[in-house]
């Protein structure tokens, strides 16, 4: 898919007086927070069938009669119509096969919950493109990329499954998702409680909007993760930005920088913001996937990767050249743990399984998450949150203006206590936990906190190195789901 | 606005082999079930201010940046910020001033509930036309006429009021509506429980869809109302259709018919279906507004108008000519109680305060309510429910195809028990009660039945001739609302 839009945003970032967090990072924050356990790590084989369901392009109007094919994956190996269930993954901003292969938790609990597994792809991602290659052409084609349309797709798909699969009609459906998918799972239960009996919303930052959380909370958590992972680690990173700035101020310094960081292309002065964003993005990614065992995200990573990274950043008081060499070693953990990379490419941090165009548009319409840094409470250069500039950039890039308050109007913001049967799980290491629900709201809107957990660790497959906290979290989650399933079947039996 | 579309539907009805209930009647069933107490009957003066709020034409997409002015009326005479409330009328298919003047209940309880009253006009009705005179031009312009968009309008309007009226922020909002407006009130609470603490859904046939109720239930209730209102009344009407058919079979018969019924225009054979629909529609209207006191709907009516009508229909075994003369006397109660009408016009039954074009489109998209008659359990000629033909007619008229199951996918159909704080009130005389919620679903989804009550009698102003049942209903409704208001304020106080 590429990311042509980013260049444009980059220019905006370079303009005099701009001091917003670059959209490039925002997009990545949003699109990289995904389950990443590779299929090979799971003890459970993932065998599924691929299907396509004809969806209306526009559920909310009648003049557009167009349809498109939504992809979904289905596994019924452990499904038992007698007391069983349907676990429904509410696909987020990427290829559904990738999510399916990286949500080991569902595969691990399928047998216990006698569950059919369904993984539904989100429109405008993977193969589920409403207008094929033209889907991102202009706002006319992008107009149907909203969370509301995606939830309606899920609702129609579940109705279709219940209509067409014998025995599915009388089965409780539970929505499960992580990150944006977790937000969708929670919202799905809120808006369609007649279709799903409950939701597991893992690492779902449903409050990372408007002024519900301070805009610096995300980056503060990233910083804390680094601070805790090695002596002087965050201080070193904080000081590295000035080192880069100083080196970038001369032609020879730029040349040296590119060489020291083993970049694939030479650097110009204009590339420096891009370089810094790329490094920033890398630290953020590392904080999100700071898992207790070796995992394979974009690149293979060791267990507790932040600790490994921070081994290179123990001395903040070194000359600029040494600082950059240390930073390179640290970056190299993320980009070259396997030792295969010949050079580092500053235009790449995310897997192509993610739909960067789609998320960029969503971030410019409904999903406006304010971020900022101040360089004091965090290890980054100061960037203010500037809604006006953000909106202008969105208009330049997509021709749309964000409506930041719409998501609150639609889904209730902090006032959600009248809903029920939603589990909000959050790892305390996860930067996104700042925007998540980390305290029980009611008896049936419960928060599960995972000590030493990074981004939705609970949705990953079981692993021998899992901390007790995540084992406990998963067993709590299963306990809630078992109760929802039992309540559903008890209710069915009670009816005449 | 006229009703040009009806001619087209009429032709469809005339085509060989068609035996659906004519759309003309369906529209009227849907658009006539409205509060009708004239302002002059209310003991409470209705003084309000008129405002306009800029709404997005499309809440669910970002490519269309157009806005329009939604009209709303506001009265804060009795509003008390200390422990008060906001009663919000979810406007339905007509002019909001008319609804405001005909919902005496809200005016009657305003003081007791220290309530601000707000009456919000439904988009595409009254003055709230998204594209002015072009709003009904084609499906491109009509595309934004849906219940979802209307609910989003209400949500945005309430947020606007809370933002701009000092003291409104900390006030509980209760949705109130009758008929389609009652459906909207209930759905509003279901979909936006963070915005309204509860809903009074009066005479809201939320189950008059798909196969939730038998399609003949509506007309059976109409028939029962007539049967109970006078000896042989329904039998006479049942026999009248054949009398009309026999007279219409000759030229002189047609001429006599037009004369006997005091019609404003002569009749041709082709007009007969239209004539019968008009009569049918009149009986339906009478059943809906069969109130215990004199009221002024389209025309002034006596107390218990069905009883007056049925006085003319006590003998079913009279010659055709006598039968028609009796039918005329009965119709004349509805159309000429004041004695002012010079002739009867078979193309008019509804007030121009209703938006017949808008509702016709809604009935062809989301609001597909199956109706049928069999001539055995009801007093009408047999008409089957034919979804295919219905869809074809909609396509011919508007260029859209209905999606009858969408409303169930969206609002849950019969599976709504996870919601809370909705009162469903129904009068047992009301034909729409067949599609309403007439039994408690949970402790907080309660049904209120009004013995001897016609269409949302409870929303009408207090009247000395009100039966005890409606007094009891209103006091129950107020009791629930007081509790919702108290709970809200208690919760606010409990917070730090």
Residue B350 has pLDDT above 80, yes or no: no
Do the beta carbons of residue A94 and residue A125 sit within 8 Å?
A: yes
Q: What is the mean pLDDT of chain B?
A: 90
Q: Cβ contacts of residue B340 below 8 Å, gap of 6+?
A: none
Q: Answer whether B452's CB lies under 8 Å from B310's CB.
A: no
Q: Which pLDDT value is given to residue B104?
A: 96
Alpha-carbon distances, residue B251 vs B240, B248, B269, B331, B346 (angstroms): 19, 7, 8, 23, 19
Buried b (16+ CB within 10 A) or exposed e, B176-198: bbbbbbbbbbbbbbbbbbbbbbb
CA distances for B43 relative to A72, A310, A338, A377, B74, angstroms: 61, 78, 84, 64, 19
Q: Pull the structure tokens for residue B100.
A: 């405001």
Which pLDDT does position A492 carry in this prediction? 84
**What is the pLDDT at residue A6?**
22
Average pLDDT on B312-333 reads 97
- DSSP label at A22? P
Q: Among residues of chain A, what percentage have pLDDT more than 70?
A: 90
Closest-CA distance, B125 to chain A, in angstroms, reads 18
For residue A375, pLDDT over 80 is answered with yes
- Cα(A84)–Cα(B285) distance, rounded to whole angstroms? 50
Catalytic residue (one of A33, A59, A122, A455): A455
Asked if the model's pLDDT at residue A364 lies above 60, the reply is yes
Which two three-digit tokens encode residue B354? 């209703």
Residue B58 in this model has a pLDDT that exceeds 70? yes
Q: What is the mean pLDDT of residues A332-344?
A: 89
Please name the residue that has the structure tokens 């002019």. Answer: B95
Sign of CA dihedral A361, A365, A367, A370: positive
What pLDDT does B297 receive? 62
CB contacts < 8 Å between A and B, how many? 91
Query: Contact B243/B325 with Cβ under 8 angstroms?
Result: no
B401-405 long-range contacts (CB < 8 A, ≥24 apart) are: B401/A62, B401/A65, B402/B363, B402/B364, B402/B365, B402/B366, B402/B368, B403/A62, B403/B365, B403/B366, B403/B368, B404/B209, B404/B210, B404/B368, B405/A159, B405/B210
Contacts of A399 in chain B (CB under 8 A): 63
Alpha-carbon gap, residue A168 to A79, rounded angstroms: 10
More confident residue, A339 or B262: B262
Find the DSSP H helices in A373-447: 387-398, 406-411
Rounded average pLDDT over A66-76? 98
DSSP string, B138-191: SHHHHTT-SHHHHHHHHHHHHHHHHHHSTTTTT--EEEEEETHHHHHHHHHHHH
The beta-carbon neighbor of A159 closest among B159, B191, B409 is B409
pLDDT grade for A350, boundaries at 50, 70 and 90 = low
CA dihedral A460, A463, A468, A473 (to 10 degrees): 20
Banded pLDDT at A496 (limits 50, 70, 90): low
Token pair, residue A113, equals 């919950």
Q: What is the predicted pLDDT for the residue at A22?
A: 40
Residues 6+ apart with CB under 8 A from A88: A118, A120, A154, A158, A173, A174, A175, A176, A196
Number of H-type helices and E-type strands within chain B? 17, 10
Query: Cβ of A146 and B365 within 8 Å?
Result: no
B108: distance to nearest CA of chain A, Å? 29
In 3D, which of A453, A398, A432 has the Cα closest to residue A29? A432
Active site residue B153: no
Question: What's the whole-number mean pLDDT along residues A109-124?
Answer: 98
Tokens 């953020």 belong to: A284
Q: What is the pLDDT of residue B44?
A: 74
Cβ–Cβ under 8 Å, residues A480 and A495: no
CB B90 within 8 A of CB B80: no
Test the A interface: residue of B63, B197, B397 with most A CBs within 10 Å: B63
Cβ-defined contact of B194 to A413 (cutoff 8 Å):
yes
Tell me the C-alpha distance between A309 and A438, whole Å.
28
User: Phi and psi dihedrals of A163, rounded to 5?
Assistant: -75, -35
pLDDT number for residue B41: 47
Angle in degrees, CA A403, A96, A284, rounded to 5: 60
Q: Is B41 a catalytic residue?
A: no
**Going by C-beta distance under 8 Å and a sequence separation of 6 or more, which residues neighbour residue B72?**
B50, B51, B52, B53, B96, B118, B119, B120, B121, B157
Query: What b/e string do you get for B228-238 counting C-beta neighbours within 10 Å, with b at 16 or more?
Result: ebbebbbbbbb
Q: Which helix (H) or strand (E) holds A140?
A: helix A139-142
- Output the CA torsion B418→B423→B428→B431 (10° steps): -70
pLDDT of res. A478: 98
The answer to whether the beta carbons of residues A398 and A424 sit under 8 Å apart is: no
**pLDDT for residue B349:** 74
Any idea which residue has 């129950």 for tokens? B476
- Out of B320, B430, B458, B466, pick the active-site residue: B430
Handedness of CA B306, B308, B312, B313 (dihedral sign): positive
Helix (H) or strand (E) run with residue B425 in it: strand B422-427
Residue-wise pLDDT for B80-103, tens only, equals 999 999 999 999 999 999 999 999
Taking only the tens place, the pLDDT of each residue in B116-132 is 999 999 999 999 999 99
Contacts of A149 in chain B (CB under 8 A): 60
How far off is chain A from B442, nearest CA to CA, in Å? Answer: 14
* Residue A494, pLDDT score: 79
Per-residue pLDDT of A76-103, as tens digits, reads 999 999 999 999 999 999 999 999 998 9
CB contact under 8 A, B400 and A365: no
What is the secondary structure of B351-382 as a DSSP string? -TTB-HHHHHHHHTTT------B-SSSSSS--
What's the pLDDT tens digit per position in B273-282?
A: 999 999 999 9
Cβ distance B60 to A146 less than 8 Å, yes or no, reads: yes
pLDDT band at B34 (very low <50, low <70, confident <90, very high): very low
- For residue A198, the chain B residues in CB contact (below 8 A) are none
Closest CB from B365, B415, B421 relative to A194: B415
Q: How far apart are CA B273 and CA B269, in angstroms?
A: 9
Per the CB < 8 Å rule, is B193 touching A412? Answer: yes
Burial label for B342, CB within 10 Å (0-12, 13-18, 19+), is exposed
Q: What is the DSSP string of A330-362?
A: HHHHHH-TTS--SSB-TT--S-TTB-HHHHHHH
Question: B299 near B334, Cβ under 8 Å?
Answer: yes
Of the listed ranges A42-51, A59-68, A117-126, A355-364, the one predicted with least confidence:
A42-51
Between A46 and A203, name the one with better pLDDT. Answer: A203
What pLDDT, on the 0 to 100 scale, is given for residue A185? 98
A62, A154, A155, best to mutate vs chain B, most B CBs in 10 Å = A62
- Whether B352 has a pLDDT exceeding 80, the answer reads no
What's the rounded mean pLDDT across residues B39-57? 81
> ipTM of the predicted structure?
0.91
Q: Which residues in chain A are closer than 8 Å to B490, comparing Cβ atoms?
A: none
- Mean pLDDT confidence for B461-476: 97
What whole-number distance in Å separates Cα of residue A207 and Cα of residue A217? 12
The answer to whether the beta carbons of residues A158 and A194 sit under 8 Å apart is no
Q: Are B96 and B70 in contact (CB under 8 A)?
A: no
Indicate the pairing of strand A445-450 with strand A422-427: parallel
Q: How far is A145 from chain B (nearest CA, A)?
A: 8
pLDDT per residue as tens digits for the range B385-440:
999 999 999 999 999 999 999 999 999 999 999 999 999 999 999 999 999 999 99
Q: What are the start-end ranges of the E strands in A40-145? A: 49-56, 67-75, 85-90, 115-120
A448-478 pLDDT, tens digit per residue, is: 999 999 999 999 999 999 999 999 999 999 9
Residues 6+ apart with CB under 8 A from B339: none
d(CA A449, CA A451): 6
**Two structure tokens written together for B118:** 């707000």
- For residue B192, pLDDT beyond 90: yes
**Which residue of chain A has the CA closest to B149?**
A60
Interval A281-329: pLDDT, tens? 999 999 999 999 998 765 689 999 999 999 999 999 999 999 999 999 9
Q: Is A179 a catalytic residue?
A: yes
* Residue carrying the six token digits 């004519």: B22
Nearest Cβ partner for A418 among B65, B193, B365? B193
Q: What pLDDT digit, counting tens, does each position of A397-408 carry?
A: 999 999 999 999
* pLDDT band at residue B296 using 50, 70 and 90 as cut-offs: confident
| Dist. CA A189–CA B36, nearest whole Å | 39
> Alpha-carbon distance B280 to B284, whole Å?
6
| Shortest Cα distance, chain B CAs vs residue A79, angstroms | 24
Q: A18 is written with which tokens?
A: 């701009």
Element (H, E) at A300: strand A300-301
Q: Which H/E stretch holds residue B393?
A: helix B387-398
């Amino acid at each position: 898919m590429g990311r042509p839009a980013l260049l444009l945003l980059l220019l905006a970032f370079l303009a005099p007086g701009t001091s917003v967090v670059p959209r490039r990072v925002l997009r990545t924050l949003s699109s990289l927070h995904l389950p990443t356990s590779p299929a090979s790590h799971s003890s459970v084989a993932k065998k599924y069938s691929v299907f396509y369901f004809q969806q209306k392009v526009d559920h909310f109007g009648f003049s557009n009669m167009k349809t498109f094919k939504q992809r979904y994956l289905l596994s019924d190996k452990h499904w038992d119509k007698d007391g069983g269930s349907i676990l429904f993954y509410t696909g987020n901003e990427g290829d559904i096969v990738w999510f399916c292969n990286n949500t080991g938790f569902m595969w691990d609990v399928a047998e216990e919950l006698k569950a059919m597994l369904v993984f539904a792809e989100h429109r405008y991602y993977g193969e589920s493109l409403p207008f094929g290659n033209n889907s991102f052409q202009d706002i006319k084609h992008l107009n149907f990329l909203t969370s509301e349309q995606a939830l309606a797709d899920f609702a129609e798909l579940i109705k279709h499954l219940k209509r067409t699969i014998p025995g599915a009609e009388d089965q409780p459906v539970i929505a499960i998702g992580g990150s944006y998918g977790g937000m969708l799972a929670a919202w799905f239960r809120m808006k369609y409680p007649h279709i799903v009996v409950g939701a597991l919303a893992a690492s779902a930052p449903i409050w990372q909007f408007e002024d519900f959380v301070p805009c610096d909370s995300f980056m503060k958590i990233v910083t804390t993760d680094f601070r805790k992972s090695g002596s002087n680690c965050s201080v070193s990173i904080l000081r590295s930005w000035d080192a880069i700035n100083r080196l970038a101020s001369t032609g020879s310094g730029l040349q040296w920088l590119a060489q020291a960081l083993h970049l694939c292309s030479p650097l110009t002065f204009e590339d420096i913001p891009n370089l810094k964003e790329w490094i920033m993005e890398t630290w953020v990614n590392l904080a999100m996937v700071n898992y207790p065992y070796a995992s394979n995200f974009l690149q293979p990573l060791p267990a507790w990767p932040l600790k490994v990274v921070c081994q290179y950043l123990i001395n903040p008081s070194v000359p600029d050249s040494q600082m950059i060499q240390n930073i390179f070693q640290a970056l190299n953990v993320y980009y070259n743990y396997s030792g295969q990379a010949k050079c580092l490419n500053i235009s790449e941090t995310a897997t192509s399984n993610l739909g960067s165009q789609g998320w960029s548009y969503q971030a410019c319409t409904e999903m406006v998450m304010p971020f900022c840094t101040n360089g004091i409470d965090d290890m980054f250069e100061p960037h203010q949150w500037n809604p006006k500039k953000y909106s202008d950039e969105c208009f330049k890039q997509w021709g749309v203006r964000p409506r930041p308050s719409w998501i609150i109007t639609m889904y209730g913001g902090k006032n959600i206590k009248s809903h029920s049967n939603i589990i909000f799980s959050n790892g305390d290491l996860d930067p996104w936990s700042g925007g998540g629900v980390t305290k029980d709201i009611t008896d049936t809107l419960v928060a599960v906190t995972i000590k030493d957990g990074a981004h939705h660790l609970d949705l990953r497959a079981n692993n021998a190195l899992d901390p007790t906290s995540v084992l406990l979290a998963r067993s709590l989650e299963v306990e809630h789901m078992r109760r929802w399933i039992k309540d559903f079947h008890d209710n069915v039996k009670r009816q005449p």
